[in-house]
Amino acid sequence: MTLLRRSPAEGSSSRSRQSPSPRQPSLRHPSWRQRGAVIVETALVAPLLIALLVGIGEFGLAWHADNTVATVLRSTVIDHARHSSDRFSDLDLIQRVRDDVDDPGSISWVMIYRSSAGSTKPPSACATAANALSSGTGGVTGRCVIFSGDFIATATRDDFDDPVCDDDPDMTFCPITRAADFATTDRLGVAIRYRYRWLTGMIPGGGITIQDQAVSPQLGDTGDSK
């Protein structure tokens, strides 16, 4: 019997013809395609997350400003009703509002008014006068007095030097005489317009306008309602 032996050359040739086994992907070392996909996804999602966080922060601060304005109004209207006939009661009120709100420069105006029975809102004539006021003071005789933000920023007792309000900023609704204009069902109210400005430029509009009012059931009373 003749045994056939395969030469070393033939063996190596056979092994060379065998296809190499494919390399298994490594989980520890992602391919450049995987890394590129992650970068693209991050670039798409990150701006949305940033905008969401900024929006939450901005509206949270705006809510805080609105809550602060409401709290200031309710506390000041109570004290003001107790001392409404004092000559400097209006000055004390606007100075307190100026000191207690988050940003005094954002005050558009503060109004002290007489609200008729069953209503907490300022009289329509006073609302019209407030919307038209850009600086200084204004009002409607016997119904309200309105102080603009720029006047509030610098107001002192020197501005209220006449004992009966003649030619003074509050002459349209003088604390000394206003009680005589009140009926038993009338209320003393305080209203404010406040402009909250966005801290970032990512939300359009520049900010929001906060307008609120509070009333005391009657002069000398300690209650209030919105």
Is residue 88, in this structure, part of any structural domain at all? Answer: yes
> 78 lies in a domain?
yes
Query: For residue 168, what pLDDT is reported?
Result: 93
Residue-number span of the structural domain to which 103 is assigned:
39-216
Other beta carbons within 10 Å of 47: 9
Asked if residue 144 is part of any domain, the answer here is: yes
pLDDT along the chain (226 residues), means of 10: 52 52 54 71 80 87 92 88 85 94 93 84 94 94 94 94 90 87 80 92 86 76 41
Nearest alpha-carbon partner for 64 in 192, 208, 205: 208
Domain membership of residue 69 (yes or no) is: yes
CB 71 within 8 A of CB 224: no
- Please state, in angstroms and rounded to a whole number, the distance separating the CA atoms of residues 62 and 10: 85
Distance, CA of 124 to CA of 144 (rounded, Å)? 11
Question: How many domains are there within the chain?
Answer: 1
Instruction: Give the burial class of 185: count Cβ atoms within 10 A of its Cβ; 0-12 exposed, 13-18 middle, 19 or more buried.
Output: exposed
23 within domain boundaries: no
What's the pLDDT score for residue 181?
73
The answer to whether residue 26 sits within a structural domain is: no
The pLDDT, as a whole number, for residue 8 is 54
| Assigned domain for 80 exists | yes
Instruction: With respect to residue 77, please indicate whether it lies within any of the assigned structural domains.
Output: yes
